[in-house]
Amino acid sequence: MNEYNFNIEEIEGPGAENGNSPSPKKPKKNTALKIAASLMAMSLVSAGSIGIYHHLTYPDQNKTITESSAEPEKNNIEAENVSMLQISESKDGVLTTEEVVKKVMPSVVGIKSEFEMPQQSNNSFGGFGGFGDFFGFGDEYESQIPQENPIGTGTGVVFSEDGYIVTNAHVIYDSQNGMGLATEIEVLVEDETYTAEIIGYDVDCDLAVLKIEADGLISAEFGNSDELNLGEDVTAIGNPLGLDLMNTVTKGIVSGLNRNVTINDKSMSLIQTDTAINEGNSGGPLINKYGQVIGINSSKMSSSGFGSASIEGICFAIPSNKVVNVVDDFMNYGYVKGKPQLGISCRDVTAEISQMYDMPLGVYVVEVTEGSAAEKAGLKKGDIITAVDDVKIETAAELTAQKNLHMAGDEIKLTYKRNGEEMTATLVLDEMTENA
């Protein structure tokens, strides 16, 4: 018997991996840039909490919730091989702010998502002499919840005349409160309200595609985010704090490019802007001086903790080139292609757990999916992963970060402890073929 194989209940479902995020292309940065990007991510996290926002309210309360990411349920999609969202190279000349707004405003929509609040959270799990408590398990409890289902509001961008819309995944999928996928999604186009179908979503890259039964919509033009320059004027349109303030326009500049920002253990390369982005702006367009969408607004930095200095004007958008690639995958496959997967569920072995149970620091394997890359390589429940490609790791987030330097089909080496013995395994990463 594996000496670390305690009775720990699986939290995230078979084959789920903590902090799994997309990696469509291998990084092509030199070491100095990698270090700089890493320091930037740590600086951002330590300076304040970076939140992905949509406005979530309860019918009987005025409560705003900051969204975080988690593994979603599988969403089966059947789609033909199509490419509907493309980068436009045409530029009709620099527009005034008024002209930019007039061009793009008809393509901006409001999104309202209704969620079903879990009636009870049962955290009673078997443990090994209280071992489970250190993994976040405790006594059974019943959540105090409102009587009515909460409603989230956000923003979306029309990208085809027949009703396809792009937005943030967190607008339609709630993780922090365990509500998961919205039970009903409505899209407001001018004065008309439509029920939306989900074509695809991915919480790791924070993008989703919706479809409404409408024709003759005005689609937005998407520009090339690689051509953005620091200091360039940009405009945002969205629905901050709910649909009562729908179509709010704010303006700023491009403050930074290729910012490697870590949000909820997921690393994303984003556009930084000082354009005001607030709760409810999620999924709305960041627009260049030609009236082209060059980003989807998704997040901002905010203060955390009592007495923290206020943080203003540090907001982020997903680059349009990334959006186009992800949308294309949604339309063709229903999920994001190339995402690597080990095929395990895992939890951190913290310093406290390590000392109490004489276990090495690392990532405890809770479950191994049958037929997965991990099982084929010989990993078992209870193994503790301590390194990836000879890079030491102590958390699931670090494991994910190393894994996501690769694509599906790449080969990696894992170092792990079993019964106190250090072992290694070489495996070929699977492709994640579900929404995540």
Q: How far apart are CA 328 and CA 330, in angstroms?
A: 5
CA-to-CA separations, 274 to 91, 154, 157, in angstroms, rounded: 24, 20, 21
Cα separations (Å) of 386 from 7, 135, 265, 398? 21, 18, 18, 10
pLDDT, mean of residues 401-417:
90
What is the reported pLDDT for 337? Answer: 86
Q: What is the pLDDT of residue 418?
A: 93
Are 245 and 236 spatial neighbours (Cβ–Cβ below 8 Å)? no
What kind of architecture, by CATH, is found in domain 31-115+150-333?
Beta Barrel (2.40)
DSSP per-residue codes, 195-230: E-EEEEEETTTTEEEEE-S--S--PPPB--GGG--T
pLDDT tens-place string over residues 300-322: 987 665 556 678 899 999 999 99
Contact 314/43 with Cβ under 8 angstroms?
Answer: no
Cα angle 40, 407, 369 (rounded to 5 degrees) comes to 110
Cα–Cα distance for residue pair 149/373, rounded to 1 Å: 40
For residues 195 and 193, give the distance between their C-alpha atoms in angstroms, rounded to a whole number: 7
Q: pLDDT tens digits for 16-37?
A: 454 333 333 333 333 333 333 3
DSSP classification of residue 116? P
Q: What one-character-per-residue DSSP string does 68-98 give?
A: -------------S-----B---------HH
288, 228 contact by CB (below 8 A): yes
Q: How high is the pLDDT of residue 432?
A: 83
The predicted pLDDT at position 157 comes to: 98
83 falls in which pLDDT band (50, 70, 90)? low
Joined tokens for residue 124: 């009673």
Residues of the chain above pLDDT 70, percent? 71
* Average pLDDT in the chain: 77
Q: What is the DSSP letter of 342?
A: -
| pLDDT surpasses 50 at 75 | no
Listed residue (367, 362, 265) closest to 20, CA to CA: 265
| 340-431 is classed CATH 2.30.42.10 | yes
- Rounded Cα distance between 65 and 177, Å, is 9
Cα separation, 65 vs 54, whole angstroms: 8
Angle at Cα 208 formed by Cα 34 and Cα 325, nearest 5°? Answer: 55
Which pair of tokens denotes residue 302? 């905010």
Q: Residues 126-137: pLDDT tens digits?
A: 333 344 433 333
Q: What is the pLDDT of residue 65?
A: 30
Residue 283 banded pLDDT, cuts 50, 70, 90 = very high
Residue pair 173/182 in contact by the 8 Å Cβ criterion: yes
* Active site (catalytic) residues: 170, 206, 282
Tokens of 274: 């000082």
Burial class of residue 4 in the structure, from the number of CB atoms within 10 Å of its CB (0-12 exposed, 13-18 middle, 19+ buried): buried
Q: Where are the domains of the chain?
A: 31-115+150-333, 340-431
Q: Which of 4-8, 80-84, 155-159, 302-306 has the lowest mean pLDDT?
A: 4-8
User: CA triplet 291, 296, 298: central angle to 5 degrees?
Assistant: 145
CB 345 within 8 A of CB 11: yes
CA-based R_g, the chain, Å:
22
Per DSSP, the three-state class of 353 is helix
Report pLDDT digits (tens) over 165-210: 999 999 999 877 778 899 999 999 988 999 999 999 998 889 999 9
Split at pLDDT 50, 70, 90, the class of 55 is: low
Q: State residue 59's pLDDT score.
A: 52
Helix, coil or strand: residue 358: coil
Report the sign of the C-alpha dihedral through residues 422, 135, 262, 152, in that order.
Answer: positive
Give residue 3's pLDDT: 55
Per-residue pLDDT at 93: 87
Length of the chain: 436
- pLDDT confidence tier of residue 140, bands split at 50, 70 and 90: very low
Ramachandran angles phi, psi of 355, nearest 5°? -70, -40
